[in-house]
Copies of this chain bind each other. A is one copy, B any other.
Amino acid sequence: MAITDRVREILSWYPSDNPGTLANLYRLLSTGTLAGTGKLVILPVDQGFEHGPVRTYQPNPATYDPEYHIQLAIDSGCNAYAAPLGQLEAVAGKFAGQIPLILKLNNSDTLAKIDQPISALTGSVDDAIRLGCSAIGYTIYPGSSARNRMYEDLRALTAEAKQKGLVVVTWAYPRGAGLSKEGETAVDVAAYAAQIAAQLGSHIIKVKPPKAHLEQQEAKKVFEKYAVPWATLEERTRHVVQSAFAGKRIIIFSGGEAKSNDEVLEEVRGLAKGGAFGSIMGRNAFQRPREEALVLLREVMAIFKNA
């Protein structure tokens, strides 16, 4: 499709990237129902690794099969499909070219006791190239004492990805000894995590919807002094979007645990009003029966399209 003004504007925010990366960013923004709008809905399926198979796939047993997910992403008009190495290898050769792919490069499981949160590296940039992906994905846990290892691994992966013409999508999920449980989704922390991901050179940033909590005392004082609004999801989203280079980095929000259609749409409306670039929605999509998922995803896309 012909490039739209909005996509052209978004690409202009990445003036230091090579044509290969810009082409893949263009591809992500020009695929599916939201093509050309500058908005994105992405289907991510790494929960089999992160939470285990029965919790992930049993609500909809057809989903044990990796082919189910990529087909759902294509049929629902998503911009892209994201998954770990094995999940993508099981389908990449068969569905080659049908939808942009994001290779999730690190993953965690719930079987081990790990002192401070840090995922294992489970894929490489060359794997992404070999599988025809448009982007790599990587999860950082700001707040973890293992922060340096994660930021440094991401730095190296980002440099390699940019050299090889890929887009970098960072999952910024605060957790670890530096934060309270509530603090993991506090609005100041979410904004800080978005800023860190942006400073690390990510093209697309994924955070959780920020909640009405302020974690850091120093940040709280500034919120109060300057009366930064944070009562509604829309306001909090706006602050987080602004914290990603004044909205000049693509920032999308995850859906979290399975919820009712109404809850999902309510949340998406708040995010969209606050300037979110889109959603990355996994369990709320594939744990529903396929037809229900198609309907829900269509509604989510409509909200972003009209925002």
Contact = CB atoms under 8 A, between A and B. Distances in A.
Given A201-B89, A248-B90, A177 B124 contact: no
A245 to B, nearest CB: 6
A48 to B, nearest CB: 5
A243 B64 contact: yes
Interface in A143-190: 143-145, 147-148, 151-152, 155, 159, 174, 176-179, 188-189
A50 to B, nearest CB: 10
Given A121-B155, A248-B66, A16 B199 contact: no
A243 B49 CA distance: 11
A295 interface: no
Nearest to A150: B120
Given A48-B199, A152-B121, A178 B58 contact: no
B177 A151 contact: no
Nearest to A143: B111
A89 B222 contact: no
Interface in A67-108: 84-94, 107
Interface residues of A, number: 92
A101 B65 CA distance: 30
Interface in A202-220: 202, 216, 218-219
Contacts of A199: 46, 48-49, 84-87, 107, 122
A246 interface: yes
A44 to B, nearest CB: 13
A195 interface: yes
Contacts of A61: 242
A55 B111 contact: no
A142 interface: yes
B53 A112 contact: no
